[in-house]
Structure 1
C-alpha cells in the first residue's frame, strides 16, 4: 500500500522542529580558543598557502572531496512543472538528504534563478570550485541537454543530470536482466519508448549501448510516434525518429518485445498489452500511477516481466539505486567526469548484484522467505546494504580504466571496508524495520487511542500501511479526535466498558477467572478487571482477536507491565521478562539491556537477558556481538557486581556458545575495538563491532540510554519487551508520536516473526 501523505503532515514535517531537512555540522573540535584559532585566524592561513602552491591539496584540507552541489532552476520539478527555483528548494533538500543517508555524501542545494542556458552555465561554473561534483536536477528539456553537455566539457569535476541518467542506469540494468530471463537478445528485440523527454532520450541512448539497434526503436511523445515526416521535432527527438509506418502508441506496441513508459499514468490498455510479443517486458515508470497498473498488467499477461517506479510492487526502478553510489565512486577517485564507461559500470554492477544470493537481512526486510533472481526480482532492492560496497567500486574502477581518475584506489578490500563503515548511522536499521512492517501489516491494538498522540500514531501507522489499527478507549472521544485530525478509513473502535462488548468482556472474564481461580480470583473480580482496557487488550491478543498490542502512554511502566505478565505470561523456560532499547547512533544501531524490568538481576538472570537480546537482534536481521559491561575488565574487580557479570559470561560460553558475547568489560573497551585489541587480545570479540551491551542493573542501563538520547540526540526505540508469549510492547509514559510509531513497527515485525514460527 502506497503511503498516504496529508498536506498538513507534509508541511509540519518540513517546518518542525527546524525549517528544512539539512544543516551544517562542524567536523572539528571547536570548544576552546585554541580550536577556534586553528579553525579560523591565524591557523587557517597554513592550509590556504598549501592549496595556493598545489590546488589538489584542497581535497586534503577541505570538505570539497565529499561535497556535491544539487543544482536546479525549478523548471521541471517532479510532476509539478515549472514552479521556479524557490519552490524547488524542498525537493533539492530532499535530494541532499538521500545523498547523505545512502552514501554519506554532503550536499549544498543550489537554486539558480536562471532559465537562460548561458546564464545558468555561467553561474554553475562560477561556484564549481566549492564542490567535488555537480548533480543537476529538475531542469526542463531541451535546455537540460545543453546545460549538462557544456558543464561536462568545461568543468573538471563530475557532472550528472540525474533526471536523465539515473533512470537510464537503473532501467538499463533491469532491462539487461529482463532480457536474459525472457531469453531475448538486445540486438533483436523491438522496443517502444513512450515519452520523449530528457529521461526517455537518455534511457534510449543507454539501451543502445546494451546492444539495442536504432532501427528496432520506436519512440512516442504526446502527439504520437516520432516520425521523420513530423516538423515539430527538436534535435534530441530527431535522433530517434523513424520512417516505419506506425503513427500511434497502439500501432507501435503490436509485436513489440519491450515497452518503456516514461510518460503519464493509465495510457496503456489491456488490448495494447495483448498485442505485444511473447514474454513481453514492460517498464511502466510513470509516478505515482504507472502507464498500466501492475495488477491489471500481470492479470492480462501471465508471461509479462513487469517493473514500475513504485515500492509496493516487485522490480522498483528507483533512482536512489544509482546517483548516491555513482557519485560516491566518482568522488573517491577524484574523477574529472562521470563518463559513459562509469555509467555502464554501474549498469552491469546493479544487474550482477541482482543475480547474487540475497542476504537474509534483505529477505527479512521485505518479509520474503527467499528472494531470488527471476521475473519478480530483476533489480536489487533499495534497502540492500550491499549497494554501497558494490556500485561505487565498479564506478571507481571504470573511472580509473578510462583515464579520468586523479586519485586511483590501490587497496580495494580496504576501500570496500571503508564504504561499509559509511553505513554506520543506526537510522538505516529503522528504515529497514519500517519497510519490513509495511510488507505484511498486522492488527495492532492501540490501548489508549483516546489520547491525541496515540491516535496520531495510529493514523500514521494506518496511512503508511505499517499496521491495521484497533482503537481502544472511549468511542465518542476517539471519534471526536479522529474528526479533528481528519483520520478517515475502515478503522475498528472498541470501548471495553460499552454494552456492545458485554458478551466478549464476559467471555474474557471467564477465561481469566479459570486461569486465576486457585489464586484467589473471583469471577466478579475478573469481570471488573475486563472493563480495564489493558486487561481487555491483553486478552484480545491472547485469544487471537489481534496480532499485537501497544500501550503505556498514560501510566507508569510497572502498572502496565503487571497485567501483561499475568494474562499473557512468559515464554516457556524464561524466568523473568526483560527489556532492551535500540539506540540509533551515528556509529550504528546499539542495543542496551535491561532498561526497564529487572532492578538487580543475578548471574543466571543476566544470561537470560543476554540470550533474549541476542534473539531480538537476530529478529531484525543483525548479527549480535554482545558485551557484558561493568566498571571492571575481565576480573580486575572482585565486587559482587563485577563477579556476577563474569559468571554470566562463563555460563554462556559453556552452555550457549552460539551467543557471541564477552566481558566483563568497561564500556569504552567494549565499544572501542582498537583499545580492546591492544589491551585484551584474547577477547572473543576481536575483529567484531560490538552492537549490544548487557548491563549489571536497571539503574545503569536506564541512565545510559536516557543520557545517549538527550546528550547525543540518539533516537531511542523501546523499551522493547522480551520474553512474553505474545507481541506486547510498552511505550514510555508520554512518548512522542514518532516514538509510538517506531514501537508499532517493532510490534508488527515481532508479530510477523512469531507467525512464521
Structure 2
C-alpha cells in the first residue's frame, strides 16, 4: 500500500493505545518462577550488583536499552509542538529499534527546553539505560546538548537528526558515485540548510574527502566575514566554501556536482540546469522535496528524496538501528567519527550488488543492512579504542 492509499482511520488506528508494550523474557507460571523473578530471589541479584555495579550489565536490561530522548522542539516538519505531541514519533523510533536491530528502547520526552536541565535529568537516569538517541531537538541547541551529554555520560550518545541523516547521505553519495564512476574528492557539494542535518552532512562529507562543500542558510551562502553567524555557522564558514563563493543558491549551484536539500526552500529547475554534467540531486525535505523528482531527473543523472514513494529513499532507519546495535555489541563508551564513516560504507556495500541510478541505497526493509552496519561499527569502535576493557 502506498503512502497515498493510507487513510486517516488506518493511521490513527495504528497508533491507538500506543505502539509499545513491555513483555517478559521469562514466563511466570508457578511459585518457583515468582520467587526467582521477584522476592526473595531478586534480592540476591540486587546485593551482587550493590557489591559490583558492573554486574548490572549482565543481570538487567540496561546494557541493551536505548533511551530515545526529545524535548519536542523540532518534530519532523511540524516544528516546536511540545513533548507530549512528540511522543508518537519517539514510540515509533523505539519500534524501529526493536524491528531492525532487536534492541529495546524507551521513549523519554522531557518537559523542558533547557539544555542543562536535560543533561542533569539524563545523568540522574544513567543507571537505567545503555545509550541515548537524541531526537527532534531544535538547532542550534541540539549541538550544545549533544556535546554536553557526550561529556557527561560514559555511554554512546547520538543525535539521529544530525548523524543518522549524514551517514545515509554519505552512503547514498557513495552509491551514486559508483553508478556514475565519479570520485567524491573531485566533487563540489552544495548543501541547502544549516540546521542539524545540514551541519552534520557537511562535516561527514568533509571527513570522507569531498572536494569542496558549500552550505547555505536562509540568508545565503555561509562564508567568512558574513554578519550574524552563530558559533556553529562561524565554524562552518572557516571549514567550508573553499572557493570563496558569495550570494545565494543560484551562485552556489552554478557548476556544482551535487545538491543536497535539507531545508524547506524550493528550487527552480533553471538552477539545476546550471549544474555540472552528470549531476546528483538529493531533495530530502519532507513531505515536499525542494524540487519534484521528475523535474530533477531532467537535469540530474541520479535523484534521491526522503520519501518512500520515489526511488532512492534516504531514510535514517538505514543507519541508526545498526549504529546503536554495533556500539552496544562492542561495549563502546562513545560513537566516534570513524564509526559513522564505517556505517556509511556498510550501507553502501549492501547496495553494491545491484547498483543503478534508481537504486543507490538499499531498501530500509533489507534485513542485511542493520547487521552489516552493526558489524562495521563494532569493528571501528574497537579500532578507535572506545570499547570496554
TM-score w.r.t. the length of structure 1 is 0.49
Q: In the alignment, what sits opposite 2:257?
A: 257
Q: Tell me how far apart the structure 2 counterparts of residues 42 and 130 of structure 1 sit (CA, whole Å).
A: 22
Q: In the alignment, what sits opposite 2:183?
A: 185
Q: Which runs of 5+ in 2 are unaligned?
A: none
SS at 1:255 equivalent: coil
Q: In the alignment, what sits opposite 1:389?
A: 371
Q: In the alignment, what sits opposite 2:151?
A: 153
Post-superposition Cα deviations, 1:6-65, rounded to whole Å, max 9, x if no partner, equal 4444333322xxx11101111122122222221122111111122223222111111112
SS at 1:282 equivalent: strand
Whether 1:373 aligns to 2:374 is no
Q: Tell me how far apart the structure 2 counterparts of residues 72 and 310 of structure 1 sit (CA, whole Å).
A: 23
SS at 2:233 equivalent: helix
Q: In the alignment, what sits opposite 1:287?
A: 286
Q: Offset of 1:374 from its aligned partner?
A: 2.5
Q: Is the 8 A contact 2:322 2:370 kept in 1?
A: yes
Q: Is the 8 A contact 1:218 1:240 kept in 2?
A: no
CA RMSD of aligned residues (A): 1.6
SS at 1:109 equivalent: strand
User: What pairs with 1:132-531 in structure 2 (closer than 5 Å)?
Assistant: 132-213=130-211, 216-241=212-237, 242=241, 244-264=244-264, 267-298=266-297, 300-301=298-299, 304-356=301-353, 372-406=354-388
Q: Tell me how far apart the structure 2 counterparts of residues 295 and 268 of structure 1 sit (CA, whole Å).
A: 13
Q: Is the 8 A contact 1:217 1:240 kept in 2?
A: no
Name segments (4+ residues, structure 1) moved above 4 Å: none
Q: Tell me how far apart the structure 2 counterparts of residues 185 and 230 of structure 1 sit (CA, whole Å).
A: 31
Q: In the alignment, what sits opposite 2:50?
A: 52
Post-superposition Cα deviations, 1:155-187, rounded to whole Å, max 9, x if no partner, equal 111111100000100110111222233333322
Post-superposition Cα deviations, 1:323-381, rounded to whole Å, max 9, x if no partner, equal 1111111111221111112111101111122113xxxxxxxxxxxxxxx2122221111
Q: Offset of 1:312 from its aligned partner?
A: 1.9
Q: Is the 8 A contact 2:221 2:245 kept in 1?
A: no
Q: Offset of 1:227 from its aligned partner?
A: 2.9
Q: Is the 8 A contact 1:73 1:114 kept in 2?
A: yes
Q: Tell me how far apart the structure 2 counterparts of residues 382 and 400 of structure 1 sit (CA, whole Å).
A: 27
SS at 1:328 equivalent: helix
Aligned length: 384
SS at 2:185 equivalent: coil
Q: Tell me how far apart the structure 1 counterparts of residues 194 and 316 of structure 2 sit (CA, whole Å).
A: 18
Q: In the alignment, what sits opposite 1:89?
A: 87
Post-superposition Cα deviations, 1:257-303, rounded to whole Å, max 9, x if no partner, equal 110100116x11221111000110111111111111111111x22x5
Structure 1 residues 286 and 56 mapped into 2: Cα distance closer, same or farther (>3 Å)? Answer: same
SS at 1:3 equivalent: helix
Q: Tell me how far apart the structure 1 counterparts of residues 87 and 134 of structure 2 sit (CA, whole Å).
A: 13
Q: Offset of 1:384 from its aligned partner?
A: 1.3
SS at 2:34 equivalent: helix
Deviates more, 1:286-295 or 1:33-42: 33-42
Structure 1 residues 257 and 157 mapped into 2: Cα distance closer, same or farther (>3 Å)? Answer: same
Q: Tell me how far apart the structure 1 counterparts of residues 282 and 245 of structure 2 sit (CA, whole Å).
A: 24
Q: Tell me how far apart the structure 2 counterparts of residues 342 and 227 of structure 1 sit (CA, whole Å).
A: 29
Q: Which runs of 5+ in 1 are unaligned?
A: 357-371, 408-757
| Higher-RCO chain (CA-CA 8 Å, sequence separation at least 6) | 2
Q: Offset of 1:229 from its aligned partner?
A: 3.4
SS at 1:118 equivalent: helix
TM-score w.r.t. the length of structure 2 is 0.95
Q: Is the 8 A contact 1:258 1:281 kept in 2?
A: yes
User: What pairs with 1:64-143 in structure 2 (closer than 5 Å)?
Assistant: 64-143=62-141
Q: Offset of 1:230 from its aligned partner?
A: 2.6
Q: Is the 8 A contact 1:157 1:337 kept in 2?
A: yes
Q: Offset of 1:122 from its aligned partner?
A: 0.6
Q: Is the 8 A contact 2:134 2:158 kept in 1?
A: yes
Q: Is the 8 A contact 2:220 2:248 kept in 1?
A: yes
SS at 1:83 equivalent: coil
Q: Offset of 1:245 from its aligned partner?
A: 4.2
Q: Tell me how far apart the structure 1 counterparts of residues 98 and 183 of structure 2 sit (CA, whole Å).
A: 38
Q: Tell me how far apart the structure 1 counterparts of residues 349 and 367 of structure 2 sit (CA, whole Å).
A: 15
Q: Offset of 1:85 from its aligned partner?
A: 0.7
